[in-house]
Structure formats: structure tokens, C-alpha cells
Structure 1
Amino acid sequence: MSKPHKQIHLAAHFPGVNNTTVWSDPEAGSHIEFSSFVHFARTAERAKFDFLFLAEGLRLREQDGEIYDLDVVGRPDTFTVLAALAAVTEHLGLTGTINSTFNEPYEVARQFASLDHLSGGRSAWNVVTSWDAFTGENFRRGGFLPQDERYSRAKEFLATAGELFDSWHGDEILADQATGTFLRDAKAGAFVHTGRHFDIHGRFNVPRSPQGRPVIFQAGDSDEGREFAASSADAIFSRHATLKEGQAFYADVKSRLATYGRRPDQLLILPAATFVLGDTDAEAEELAKEVRRQQVSGATAIKHLEFVWNRDLSSYDPDGPLPDIDPDPGEHHIARGRAQVRMYRDPLAIARTWRELATANNWSIRDLVIETGNRQNFVGSPATVAKTIDDFVQADAADGFILVPHITPGGLDAFADNVVPLLQEKGVFRTEYEGPTLRDHLGLAHPDDVRSERVAS
């Protein structure tokens, strides 16, 4: 007996701090004006996507001590944007990345509980840690924590926020939600937490929200990050978007759930994915090449190479060969505030590999950066892209994808109009929303139901 087809989950990432948006395209719009967010969100909701996803940038990026002028300048505050979008959408989930290193549990829990009320149960929190002292300079607690300390704080941060969400629970919810008046005195909202990172007690002042807690996302790919997701998250935001890598990551993370008394369906794997559509596969391939060259100008290529070399390479020709000098393996001082720096933990080995690729393919600096860093995940006609996405999900390489278009805010329109209907025809994507909350969209149980199930077992 064949197993039933899995339902695909789709989300839309409004690409805030990035270097993948094609700004030279006349359709490229503002990343600040609210109209851009409204267009993007309404397109996602029209296509019946699960949620909209906002990343976070807590400091402008710098390159060799100067503001990096080939990237997005910044973005409005996440909670402000999501709260405003709650008023112009009805079903779309609203997911925000909020840092656990430079915030406090009470403040973040209060903001997410409020957003969940305002949106009717559509909030989600992507829990991240900060990795660099550069960002920390913007905050009272300057500097950064070692990796094990970051996850230690993040785990306690999330657990503490959970205690605050749960402080209004069951019979203790004795207030008239419509008027905000108490029916009688109670212990509603009372909490006490004493731990290594937080020592707080008091009363949480936001009553139990429609989802009980926001949906929890996690984005770390390290072993600590995978374990954190298996223990505490509802979904994991992955960067593994090839079939083989996706299947390995999927199997690894799902296998960790049993340790925490969880089932495989209680954690969704949702990689980020870019796409380029054309009327035919050949047309899409040509367009994808053009998009990659628009994303990586000569100046951008040199800046990207500096991430690895940790040297000023401004004198090099982007259409010439790679530098004959080796990277500086010391403390990184060229590129600051960029996540890519973390990915190159052995710059000397990366440089050797890149030189071999460049020599074998006769690539210039710009060619190399294009070919190693900006290949789209899904390229083809709508039918080809729909089939590829479905194949990935059915092969357990993902539970769905968080789509990142290269044009904002209109880059999602063609996918919504041409790919989504094909997935609906296959019977693997919804034609209507299943319920009012984001947990309904994602097929996740309410926290109270999960708690009752664990008690019963």
C-alpha cells in the first residue's frame, strides 16, 4: 500500500538584509515603505501560503570600516511591521526573527502574545542567537557569548518565555477578555523563574493568546542548533535545499525528536529556496543566468571574496584571476555584521578549492562568486518547478519551502499565479485555509493539547 502524498507547506520570505535582490530591475521597490510589505503579504495570502517571514538586522553591515553600499540599508522594526500586516491580512501567518542574546524574556513574550491576540492567532517567533561582538556594540551587553553559552542562554530564554505564556492557563483565565476586567482575584499571570541567565518573578500582563504560544522556529544548523530545534521548536528554517543534502538533514533532525518524546510530525523542516520561472525550461535557465549576473556586480564579487580572504582586495580586477596571496586566517576585520563570514571557518581550504575550480573552468573572480554563491534552487517552467518542489517534499528532503524572490515586492506574483495552481491540481497544496491560526495552517497541535497528550501517555 503506497503512503499518502504529503501536503506541501509554503511560506514567503521578505528579503530584508541581503545581497540577492536585483535592485537594477525597474520592478524593484522599497524595503521601507509599508506598501511593499502589503503587496508581498497579500500575494502570499492570495496564494494560500502558510506565513510571511521577516529576517532581522540589528546593525548595518560594514566592509573595511565603511557602510557596505551594495546591500539593503536596513529595515523597520519587525514587530511594528507584523502588527501592521495583521490589520491588512486575515489568514497569513506572521513570523518574525527576534534575537535571544540582546532581549529579555518578559519583553519578547509580551510582544508575541500581543501580536497573537491582534492577529487572531497567527504569530510565530524565529528564535536566533547573536554571533558577533560587532552587533553587540549596539546594546548594553556589548561583546558576544561563546557558541555553547549562546545556546544555553537561548534555551533558558525560550523556556522562560514559555513559562510566561503559560502563566495564564486553564481555570486561571478568569478575566473578561472583551472588557479586560477581572471576574475575581486569581493567580493569573503569576510566574517565578530562577536560573543561570534569568532570575525574574512577577505577573505576566497579557492573557492567554489564541495559540497559547507563538509557533517557534529555529534556524541554527550546528549540532547544538539541531538539538535545540528537536527539543523546543515547531519548525526549523534550513539552508539545505538540494535533494541529497536535504534528505540527510531531514533524517538527522527528525531522528532526534524521540529523545524528547516528540513525533516526526511535530517538527517541520522548511528550507529557504530561490526560484526563477520562464515559459519554458530553457528560457528560465537563460533568465537565471541573467539574474545571477545582476545580483553579483564586479564590486559585489570583490566584496564577497573579501569575506574569505579577510583582506582589502579593492585593487583586484573582478574579471581577472583570483588573488595569488592567501587569506588572512586571523581575527576577521574586513566584513562585519555578515552571516556569510561564519560559513568560512577554514579560509585557506576554501581558497584552495576555489582556485582549483577557477583554474579548471577558466573562471574570473566574478564568475566564481556567481557559480559558488548564487545558484537558484528551482529554475524552470511552472510545471517543472511545481514537480521539483513536490518531488523534494515527497522524498522527505523537506516539508515545504520558504521562498525568497529576487524582486521585492512583486517577485512572488508569478509563483502565486502559475505554480501554486499546479500544486493544487496535484492535490498536494491547499485551496483554502484549514482554520484561523498559523498552527492550523502548519498542522500543529495547540500547546494545551500536546500537554494533555503527554500527561495521558
Structure 2
Amino acid sequence: MSKPLKQIHLAAHFPGVNNTTVWSDPAAGSHIEFESFVHFAKTAERAKFDFLFLAEGLRLREQGGKIYDLDVVGRPDTFTVLAALAAVTDRLGLTGTINSTFNEPYEVARQFATLDHLSDGRSAWNVVTSWDAFTGENFRRGGFLPQEERYSRAEEFLTTTQELFDSWHGDEILADQATGTFLKDAAAGAFVHQGQHFDIHGRFNVPRSPQGRPVIFQAGDSDEGREFAASTADAIFSRYATLKEGQAFYTDVKSRLAAYGRRPDQLLILPAATFVLGDTDQEAAELAREVRRQQVSGATAIKHLEFVWNRDLSAYDPEGPLPDVDPVVDEEHISRGRAQVRMYRDPIAIAREWRRLAEANKWSIRDLVINTGNRQTFVGAPATVARTINDFVQADASDGFILVPHITPGGLDPFADRVVPLLQERGVFRSEYEGTTLRDHLGLAHPDAAAGAPAERAAS
């Protein structure tokens, strides 16, 4: 007897300041005007996606002392945008990245509980950490937190916010204002937390929200990050885009759940994915090559090379050969506030390998960056892309995907119009929303459900 088909989860990442974005395309629009967010969100909701995802940057990135070109539009506040989108959508989940290093549990819990009320139960929190002093300079605790303590603080931060969410129970509602009796339980909202990172007590001032707590996402790929997700999160972002790597990650993370009394279906694994569609597979492949060249201009190629070389390479021709000098190590990095900096653990070895590839393939600097950088995850005709996505999910390489289009805000439209109907025909993606909250969309139990719900265990 064959096992039933898994249902695919789909979400959309508003790309904003992202190296997958093609700014030069005539179809590209604003990355900060509200109408761009509205268009993107309504497309995702029209396609019955689970949620929209917004990343957040707490400082503009710099390279060589200048603002990095992708950050010229700035970085709008996540909570403000999501709250506004709650008013123009009805079912779409609203997920935001909020940092646990430079915020406080009370304020974050209050903001998410409020967003959950405003959206009727559609909020989600992507819990991230930050250890770099560059970002911390914008905050009163600038740079104080050693890297090894970031997950310790994140774990206690999440535990503390959950205690705040749980300080209200479902029956603690306003009773009779005429007589001055406001609450059935005088202890409503009361909390006390004493720990390594937080020592707070008081009353939480937002009643129990429709979801009880926001859905929790986690994005770390380290062993610590995987363990944190297995113990606490409802979903984890994955960066693995090939079938073999995806299956290995999927198996590893899911196998960790039993130690926390959780089932494999209580943690979703959702890789980020880019895509290029064409009328035929060949047309899509040609378009994908053009998109990649648009994403990597000559100036962008030089900037990317500087991540590894850690020196000013502006005098080099992007259409010429790689530098014959070695990267600079053991000095402050030329690029500040960029996750890519930490991707290259051994720059000397990377430079040696890149020179070998460039010589063997007769690649210029730009050619090398185009061919070694991130490629589109799904390329092909709509039927090809739909089949490939379904194959990934049914083969347990993921539970779905968070799609990142290269055009803002209309880049999601072709996928919604041409791929989603094919997934619906296969019976692996919803035609209508069956519930109202994000927990409903993701198949997650409410924290107030019977013992054994994942959110109940996450609080323990």
C-alpha cells in the first residue's frame, strides 16, 4: 500500500535588499513603498500560500567604508509592515525576522501578541541571533555578547516570551466594566522570570491571542541551530537546494525531535528557493542565464570577490583574470554586516580553488562569480517546476519551499498563475484555505490543545 501524498507548504519571501534581486529589469518596482508589499502579499494570498516572510536588517551593510549598493533603499521596520499587511489580507500568514540579541522579551512578546490579534491569528516569528559588534553599535549593548552565548540567550529569550504569552489564559477576559470587575482571574498577566540573561517580573498587558503564541521559525544551520529548532521551533529554514543535501538535512533534523518528545510532523523544513519559468525548459534555461548575468554586474562581481580577498579590488577589471595576490586574513574585514563574510572559513583555500576553476574554464572574475554563486533552484517550464517541487517534497527533502522571486513586486505572479494550478491538479496543494490561522495552514496544534501539542512541549 503506497503512502499518501504529502501536502506541499508554500510561502513567499519579499526579497527587498537581497542579492537575488534584479534591479535593472524594467519590471522591477520599489522595495520600500507600501504598494509593493501589498501587491506581493495579495499575490501570495491569491495563490493560497501559507505565509509571507520578511527578513530584517538592523544596520546598513558597508564595504570599504561605503554603504553597500543593495542597501540604498534602506530597511523598513518588520512589525510596521506586517501590521499594515494584516489590514489588506485575510488568510495569509505574516512572518517576520526579529533579533533575540538586541531586543527584550517583553517588548517582542507584546508586539507579536498584538500582531496576532490584529491579524486574527496569522503571526509568526523567525528567531535569529547576532553576535557582531558592527550591528551592535546601533544598540546599547553593542557587541558585548560573545558568539558562543548567542544561542543561550536566544533559548532563554524564547522561553521568557512564551511565559509572557502563557501568563494569560483563555478564560481571563474582561467581565463587568460597570462594576469595576475587569478580570475573572486577578493573576492574569502576572509573570516572574529569573535566569542567566533575564530577571524580570510584572504583568503582561496583552490578552491571550488567537494562536496563543506566534508560530516559531528558526534559520540556523549549525549543530546548535539544528538542536534549537528540534527542541523549540515549529519550522526551520533550510539552505539546501539539492535533493541529496536536502534529504540529509531533513533526516538529521527530524531525527533530533524524539529526544524532546516530539513527532517528525511537528517541525516543518522549508528551504528558500529561487525560480525561473519559461514556456519550455530550454527557454527557461536561457532566461536563467540572463537573470544570473543581471544579478552579477561587473561591480557586483568585484564586491563579491572582496568578501574573500578582504582587500580593495576596485582597480581590477571584472572581465579580466582573478587577482594573483592572496586574500588578507587576521585583519578587520572589509565588508561589515554581511552574513556572506562568515561563509568563507578558509579564504586562502577558496582563492586557490577559484583560480583553478577560472584557469580551467577560461573564466573572468565575473564569469567565476556567476558560475560559483547561488543558482536558481527551479528552472523550467511550469510543468517541470511543479513536478520537481513535488518530487522534492515526496522524497522527504523538504516539506515545501519559501519562494524568492528575482523581481519585486511582480515576480511571484507567474508562479502563482502557472505553477500553483498544476500542483493543485496533482492534489498536493490546497485550492482553498481550510482554516483561518497560520497554525491551521501549517497543520500545527494550538498551544491550548490537549497535552502533547508541540507548543506545549516547547514551553517546558
TM-score by length of 1: 0.97
Aligned partner of 2:82 in structure 1 is 82
1:40·1:410 contact (CA, 8 Å) conserved in 2? yes
Alignment partners' CA distance in 2, 1:148 and 1:449: 35
Distance 2:381 2:175 in 1: 54
Distance 1:37 1:381, change over 3 A: same
Preserved contact between residue 17 and residue 55 of structure 1 (Cα < 8 Å):
no
Mark the CA change 1:407 to 1:141 in structure 2 (over 3 Å): closer, same or farther: same
Structure 1 residues 5-16: aligned runs within 5 Å: 5-16=5-16
Maintained 8 Å contact 1:98/1:125:
yes
Alignment of 1:154-303 (within 5 A): 154-171=154-171, 173-176=172-175, 182-303=182-303
Residues 185 and 212 of structure 1: CA distance in aligned 2, closer, same or farther (over 3 Å): closer
1:185 and 1:255 map into 2 onto residues whose CA distance is 41
- Partners in 1 of 2:375 and 2:146 — Cα distance? 32
2:402 aligned residue: 402
Is contact 1:70–1:300 with CA below 8 Å preserved after alignment?
no
- Residue aligned with 1:206, SS: coil
How far, CA to CA, are the matches of 1:53 and 1:188 in structure 2? 32
CA deviations on 1:322-342 (whole Å, 9 max, x unpaired) are 111111121342111111111
Q: Structure 2 CA distance, aligned partners of 1:150 and 1:443?
A: 30
State the SS of the aligned residue for 1:448.
coil
Return closer, same or farther for 1:453/1:313 CA change in 2, 3 Å cut-off: closer
How far residue 453 of structure 1 moved from its aligned partner, in angstroms, is 5.5
1:39 Cα deviation after fit: 0.1
| Aligned-partner Cα distance in 1 for 2:185–2:212 | 21
Mean Cα deviation higher: 360-369 or 43-52: 360-369
Aligned equivalents of 1:40, 1:48: Cα separation in 2 = 13
Amino acid in the other structure paired with 1:253 = V
After superposition, the C-alpha distances for 1:45-103 in whole angstroms (9 at most, x for unaligned) are: 00000000000011111011111124453221100000000000000000000000000
For 1:163 and 1:144, the matched residues in 2 are separated by 26
Residue 17 of structure 1: how far off its partner (Å):
2.3
Q: Deviations over 1:341-382 (max 9, x none)?
A: 111111111112211211221111101111111310000000
Q: How does 1:118-133 map to 2 (within 5 A)?
A: 118-133=118-133
Partner SS, residue 69 of structure 2: coil
Q: Which deviates more, 406-415 or 309-318?
A: 309-318
Aligned to 1:37: 37
Aligned partners of 1:271 and 1:178: how far apart in 2? 49
Letter aligned with residue 434 of structure 1 = E
- How many aligned residue pairs are there? 455
Superposition RMSD on alpha carbons, in Å?
1.8
| Distance in 1 between residues matched to 2:162 and 2:261, nearest whole Å | 18
Shift in Å at residue 144 of structure 1? Answer: 4.7
Question: Per-residue CA shift, 1:128-183, capped at 9, x if unaligned?
Answer: 00131110011111115233200000000000000000000245x13259999724
Contact in 2 for aligned 1:19/1:72 (Cα 8 Å): no
SS at match of 2:448: helix
> What amino acid maps onto 1:447 in structure 2?
P
Q: How does 1:389-428 map to 2 (within 5 A)?
A: 389-428=389-428
Contact 2:18 2:70 in 1 (8 A): no
Structure 2: gaps spanning 5 or more residues: none
Structure 2 SS opposite 1:314:
coil
Q: How far apart are the structure 2 equivalents of 1:345 and 1:178?
A: 62
Code of the aligned partner of 1:231 = S
**Structure 2 CA distance for aligned equivalents of residues 306 and 23 of structure 1:** 21
- 2:54 equivalent in structure 1: 54
Answer with 180-189 or 72-81: which moved more. Answer: 180-189
Q: Is the 8 A contact 1:281 1:380 kept in 2?
A: yes
The TM-score, its normalising length taken from structure 2, stands at: 0.96
The answer to whether the Cα contact below 8 Å between 2:32 and 2:73 also exists between their aligned partners in 1 is: no
| C-alpha distance in structure 1 between counterparts of 2:358 and 2:78, whole Å | 40
**How far apart are residue 242 of structure 1 and its match?**
1.0
Aligned-residue offset at 1:451 = 3.5
TM-aligned CA deviation for residue 301 of structure 1: 0.2
Q: Deviations over 1:202-261 (max 9, x none)?
A: 000000001000000000000000000000000001111111111111000000000111
Indicate the larger mover: 64-73 or 149-158: 64-73
Q: Which amino acid aligns with 2:174?
A: A
Q: How many percent identity over aligned positions? A: 86
Q: Which runs of 4+ in 1 moved over 6 A?
A: 177-181
Alpha carbons 1:292, 1:374 under 8 Å: kept: no
Contact 1:174 1:186 in 2 (8 A): no
